[in-house]
Structure 1
Amino acid sequence: MAQDAGLYGGKTFVRIGLGSLKISMDALTMTVALQPYDTFAGDLTEEMGTVNVGDMTVYISPSSYIDITTPNGAAEGGQGVKIAMNITLDEITLGYVSWGDSDGLPAGNTGYEDSPTTGATTVVWMAPGAASQAGYIGLDEINFGIVKINGAVVINVINTLQGVYSHGGATPVTVCHIRFQGPLGYFNVDVAGPITALVKLDSAASLDSAGAGTLGDIYITGFGLDIAGGSWVDIWAH
């Protein structure tokens, strides 16, 4: 734990040196969900889906570190968390990464959303009812070169009916607000190639059932991403 007048507006921060690490994991499944702060009683009820990761191995460069502090100033929000990253991953392999929807699409998807039996089309692609079950989309047999991440994210969670989230209703929406920053004015991700993976759809999170469908393969010689400082993403359940 430290405090430096030249870093994070002089706020106290925790620096975690990642060291020379090898991280491996057989499988991980997480449910992604939100809940209004004033009604939270141990369960997050606004579920968005599941993230599933399997057969992962990561090698981290010894120069890598993460700083954790509180947001600085009104532009970043009051209570919340700021995570600054300077990370080099020397190698990453993943058996699979998938996103799933545990109940499928119970309402079906015919016609217009507000009037499913009328509109531009009434063709039944996915009929409503109990036959709708879990489905997953993701990447299989994933390999990366060296990955470098340099920048910060500021995370706040709000329950609101203001602005775009008024949406004509009376029920507030719980929103996770993620803001990007960086020492050079942008959040940077750089991935050395090649990046290879198979794109799959399946009823199993591990993307390896007998009925799994392969959409194609990905081959990228290299990847660089600069996210302008001040950019943000809002995530909420629908």
Structure 2
Amino acid sequence: MSTQVAIVAEGLATLAGPRILHTDISLTVQRGEVLAVVGGSGSGKTVLLRTLSLLQAPAAGRMEVLGSDAINLDSAALRVLRRRIGILFQHGALFTGLNVLDNICLPLAEHTGLSAGSRRELGMLRLGLAGLPADTASKFPGELSGGMIKRAALARALALDPELLFLDEPSAGLDPVTSAGLDELLKDLRELLGLTVVMVTHDLDSIARVSDRVAFLGRGDLLAVAPVAQLADSDLPEIRSYFAAAPRDYGDKSCKHG
């Protein structure tokens, strides 16, 4: 696989429980790009994200992730590959019984041999990267606003310095100002850390602000992959109606990464 490619999926079939949801997904994610995954309710956005992020195995097909054949790896090699991937879950998925710093340090404790002091030092650095003040470290998830929970979960997703970052509905439940601030943070982190980002979202403003390309799911298939300005003018009725529901000027944001 080219060093310019982060993910290649060919003929991918995905599972929702025992049911096959997608039967033939083929998709390439370029290194350094932000790819938004969109589609109507029930189109399988989160299922595709879980498959691409190695949280669940596909039913069929071929998939290479960061240069490795992700389908045929043994458990030890799969564990190593997963360390190169960070995931922000829709509701943050922070452990309520742990404070923010302990949540951030959890992947470091599980996957590294670092001392507790070193883990805490790195955890504080990730806290700062996520735009949270230092005194947030000792707070518990129940003491945080929705935006702070997303940022704390993002800090945890960055704990192991991943190359690939997956985001499941990062702006869900956030007000427009908080959502825009999170988008700006993601743009900055992409540039600072050289991240490749795949995000599931229904937020058209967020798509317009941060995505290089958009993958549109529908009818159990991947209907199109293109910059948002091109998709907004699509001839396909499913895509046209999706973007017409909340019309806006997307401009002509060309894809920088192919």
TM-score between the two structures when normalised by the length of structure 1: 0.23
Q: Which one has a larger percent strand, Structure 1 or Structure 2?
A: 1
Please tell me whether Structure 1 or Structure 2 has the larger radius of gyration of its CA atoms. Answer: 1
Q: Which one has a larger percent helix, Structure 1 or Structure 2?
A: 2
Q: With a CA cutoff of 8 Å and minimum separation of 6, indicate the structure with the bigger relative contact order.
A: 2
